[in-house]
Structure 1
């Protein structure tokens, strides 16, 4: 009995001693998370530019490797020449895209500022069927919103796009310059363990493949959606038909929320210009139908089982990275989520995170059970 009492007392003493250590570990984790979040917010311009550069590098690295293996007669295209050509093409494309986005944003903002005074009355008129009291309340509420201030804030954020483009090009150039030594560096990081280095390289390759396929499908679907919305806006003789199409193309990269925002903005612009509920409702139905078909039928069909991300996880990732990095974080939320899910699926301690982020709880790409496939 005495020995049993002594053992119980010793176990209780060890438990009491371990409690402060667990509290200290938890406090350190919270402090480290707060510091990391602070650094993410403070360095968001550089980090978002670096993230975009890594994505562009992953999109073109396979093409560069293929070109460098080609032969023109007895000559082989050197790797540095293929990298230089790719960098020139990327730089040209980024500058053209940035100029197009800036011009269309400026067009929308300048035209919208002319209609700013009409916006409260136009929005309130949409709720006229609910009674004059509701219409008056909405008009007063809209009148208190500083629309011009928000628009100037958006213009200020868009103005930094060209600076970000230059920084992205610099990052991509340095990544191209060091791509030949990535495998050597990865092996050195793993302490010379070639098996671990090969596994890490497979994980990186899986991330690049899934993100590249996602961006390819998203680009095609967004381009088709933007062109169709432009055609509808042109058929309704809207002044901002081109700008609406371009903004629809851009906003559709933001998952779930982007298509809704694009539809609301396009409908509001249409109603402010047309001023009649009937044609505006027809425009809204046409644009909504386009977004629904492309976003809920064509997009999932092309995407297949490549991502299989949790819809709730996408919304959480969108909200978090939008709060941390703003609009750029919304565009990058899905690629970041894909990377986190794949890495977590290969780390035993983090696998529950990968299961939560995946759609059916199968982050490794296995086929879901038959009953789940039948329910889809």
Structure 2
């Protein structure tokens, strides 16, 4: 009885120490996890290119795929930075429009005194807001540089990973178990990222079309932000449709533009979520919906906004790792949707529901 209590105390202490390390080392861990996810995406892209044309050498295809992924990520960061700069420049006009909306709301509710924006949220300093945004962009820039460095080392050292695993494991049986776990993690993350990328691109295309059709400003910025938000499970698309709708309410003197943006995005999201997404996803993402919500909350508290983007990949990793140890198998079963986290009996088998990356 005493030994069991000691073991339980050690497990709780170890979990608390791991959570503390993840929090205090988040500036190092977040770029590393992002680089790993990008490397998995590159691996899928390499196989897809080899399927189309097997002649080019693997190193050249890997280099081209890596450059494509990093270029797209860098372009997205640049579009976000440019969009934020434009929004700061439009700050006074936006505040004036918000103040007019506040006064209109006060008149609608028959308030005795005019309702001004400053009376509700206080004074807003545009220079201070611009400084805060610039500071955040600098943080994004340094984080992106670290991601690129990690990404390069992961791609360069992935072929040596097998030898390292065999030497670190000590025995062939343990090495095989570690390799199988890594293959499962990579396959599941690859499936998740590929599905989210395809469905996110469909939703983003619809959102960009409707935003451009009504004449919303900074469409490129909103398109990039919306595409990134589609990677946040359950709430990403809703949040991504609310913000441009609110800014359309600020930009235009009428409300129909805002209503159209929100309605079209929600209609397309319903179609994709009920027809396209389940067909592509099938049973490859074996995570319980409640566990998804809990992981979203947990990683958001731990790592902030990046944690929301990485919640599902991190949960997939933990589910596979926990499933390899008898003492933590129950945790893996609780995280899974059907109680059987090891859904692919053959770890080398690629997901059957998605054939594009193969």
TM-score (norm 2): 0.81
Counterpart CA distance in 2 for 1:30 and 1:127 is 54
Which residue of structure 1 lines up, in the alignment, with residue 42 of structure 2? 60
Counterpart CA distance in 1 for 2:19 and 2:204 is 35
Q: Give the SS at the match of 1:215.
A: helix
Superposition deviation, residue 64 in structure 1: 5.5
- Is structure 2 residue 135 aligned with structure 1 residue 156? yes
Q: For 1:46-125, what aligned pairs fall within 5 Å after superposition? A: 46-61=28-43, 77=57, 83-112=62-91, 114-119=93-98, 122=101
Superposition deviation, residue 22 in structure 1: 2.9
Counterpart CA distance in 2 for 1:24 and 1:196 is 23
Distance 1:80 1:116, change over 3 A: same
Contact 2:76 2:224 in 1 (8 A): no
- Is structure 2 residue 310 aligned with structure 1 residue 328? no
Counterpart CA distance in 1 for 2:270 and 2:244 is 15
Superposition deviation, residue 342 in structure 1: 1.9
Which residue of structure 2 lines up, in the alignment, with residue 37 of structure 1? 19
Q: Give the SS at the match of 2:304.
A: helix
Which residue of structure 1 lines up, in the alignment, with residue 227 of structure 2? 249
Superposition deviation, residue 268 in structure 1: 0.4
Task: Choose which of 168, 173, 178 in structure 2 pairs with 1:195.
Answer: 173
Distance 1:186 1:171, change over 3 A: same
Counterpart CA distance in 1 for 2:8 and 2:221 is 53
Distance 1:307 1:101, change over 3 A: same
Which residue of structure 1 lines up, in the alignment, with residue 267 of structure 2? 289
Contact 2:97 2:251 in 1 (8 A): no
Contact 2:248 2:258 in 1 (8 A): yes
Counterpart CA distance in 2 for 1:358 and 1:24 is 25
**Where does structure 1 lack aligned partners over 5 or more consecutive residues?**
1-14, 367-376
Superposition deviation, residue 279 in structure 1: 4.1
Which residue of structure 2 lines up, in the alignment, with residue 372 of structure 1? none
**Where does structure 2 lack aligned partners over 5 or more consecutive residues?**
345-358
Which residue of structure 2 lines up, in the alignment, with residue 166 of structure 1? 145
Which residue of structure 1 lines up, in the alignment, with residue 248 of structure 2? 270
TM-score (norm 1): 0.77
Comparing 171-180 with 260-269, greater Cα deviation is found at 171-180
Contact 2:44 2:190 in 1 (8 A): no
- Is structure 2 residue 5 aligned with structure 1 residue 22? yes
More helix by share: 1
Which residue of structure 2 lines up, in the alignment, with residue 356 of structure 1? 334
- C-alpha distance after superposition, 1:62-111 (max 9, x if no partner): 66689899986xxx94x655554554444434333332332233334443
Comparing 349-358 with 55-64, greater Cα deviation is found at 55-64
Which residue of structure 1 lines up, in the alignment, with residue 293 of structure 2? 315
- Is structure 2 residue 326 aligned with structure 1 residue 344? no
- C-alpha distance after superposition, 1:102-128 (max 9, x if no partner): 223333444356413433653786798
Q: Give the SS at the match of 1:160.
A: helix
Superposition deviation, residue 147 in structure 1: 8.9
- C-alpha distance after superposition, 1:254-296 (max 9, x if no partner): 1112112111101101111113234433332222222332234
Higher RCO (CA-CA < 8 Å; seq separation 6+): 2
The number of equivalent residue pairs is: 342
Task: Choose which of 268, 283, 287 in structure 2 pairs with 1:305.
Answer: 283
Which residue of structure 1 lines up, in the alignment, with residue 354 of structure 2? none
Counterpart CA distance in 1 for 2:7 and 2:103 is 56
Contact 2:241 2:261 in 1 (8 A): no
Q: Give the SS at the match of 1:255.
A: coil
- Alpha-carbon RMSD across the aligned residues, in angstroms, is 3.5
Counterpart CA distance in 1 for 2:44 and 2:256 is 51
Counterpart CA distance in 2 for 1:25 and 1:66 is 46
